[in-house]
């Protein structure tokens, strides 16, 4: 009988620890939240005063572009189908095959 049809399946795998996952998500969120203002302050402080706002917005645009690229392609490369032992197949997360699984 296939594993999916057994009646006594655990809700989560044995190796999955909810506390570890919660801490990793919290730490990643805190790093992401502090990254943007830190980069803006850093880049705005190394240019002339009249270019500080422009440099701050360039950092904001770069951060937003990386976030969009991660959501569309990078997430599937990290957690999607395996291409090599350490590298995945890049594909849009919102593709039809991703929505079916």
What is the reported pTM? 0.54
User: Can you tell me the distance from the alpha carbon of 42 to that of 80, in angstroms, rounded to the nearest whole number?
Assistant: 35
Q: Is residue 2 part of a domain?
A: no
Which two structure tokens, joined as six digits, stand for 55? 């440099």
Q: Which residues form the domain of 64?
A: 14-100
Note the pLDDT tens digit of each residue in 68-87. 887 777 777 777 677 777 67
Q: How many domains does the chain have?
A: 1
Q: Is residue 87 part of a domain?
A: yes
Q: Is residue 4 part of a domain?
A: no
Q: Is residue 70 part of a domain?
A: yes
Note the pLDDT tens digit of each residue in 21-69. 788 888 888 888 888 888 888 888 888 989 988 988 888 888 888 888 8
Q: Is residue 86 part of a domain?
A: yes
User: Can you tell me the distance from the alpha carbon of 54 to that of 59, in angstroms, rounded to the nearest whole number?
Assistant: 9
pLDDT score of 6: 65
Q: Is residue 6 part of a domain?
A: no
């Amino acid at each position: 009988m296939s594993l999916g049809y057994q009646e006594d399946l655990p809700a989560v795998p044995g190796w999955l620890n909810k506390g570890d996952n919660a801490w990793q998500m919290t730490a990643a969120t805190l790093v992401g939240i502090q990254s943007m203002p830190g980069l803006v302050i850093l880049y705005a402080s190394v240019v002339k005063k009249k270019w500080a706002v422009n440099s701050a917005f360039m950092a904001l645009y770069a951060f937003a572009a990386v976030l969009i690229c991660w959501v569309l392609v990078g997430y599937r490369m990290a957690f999607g189908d395996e291409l090599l032992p350490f590298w995945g197949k890049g594909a849009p997360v919102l593709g039809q095959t991703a929505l079916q699984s």
